[in-house]
Amino acid sequence: MSFYRPTFIQEWNAIRQEGGYRLLIKKKGWLIILAFFIFYLIRDSLLYLVIPYFALKGISSYF
């Protein structure tokens, strides 16, 4: 089973496999840190804010 991976992810993964995370950060720099931060910001917003909001909104409509 193969999943779709954007080309930049494949490139970053190849660099990581070649020389580890230090080489990846050395080559890509702040872009890696920014992408990591944005990914977790979006993920955590969905998990801890949006999903509970809609769950409570749905539950409160019964009362």
Q: Quick one: what percent of the chain has pLDDT higher than 90? A: 65
d(CA 51, CA 46): 6
Within 1-63, residue ranges assigned H as helices are 7-28, 30-45, 51-60
More confidently predicted of 60 and 29: 29
d(CA 47, CA 26): 32
Q: What is the pLDDT of residue 30?
A: 92
- pLDDT tens for 33-46 read 999 999 999 999 99
Q: What band does 5 get if pLDDT is binned at 50, 70 and 90?
A: confident
Q: What is the pLDDT of residue 2?
A: 65
Question: Is 32 within 8 Å of 12 (Cβ atoms)?
Answer: yes
Q: What is the pLDDT of residue 58?
A: 81
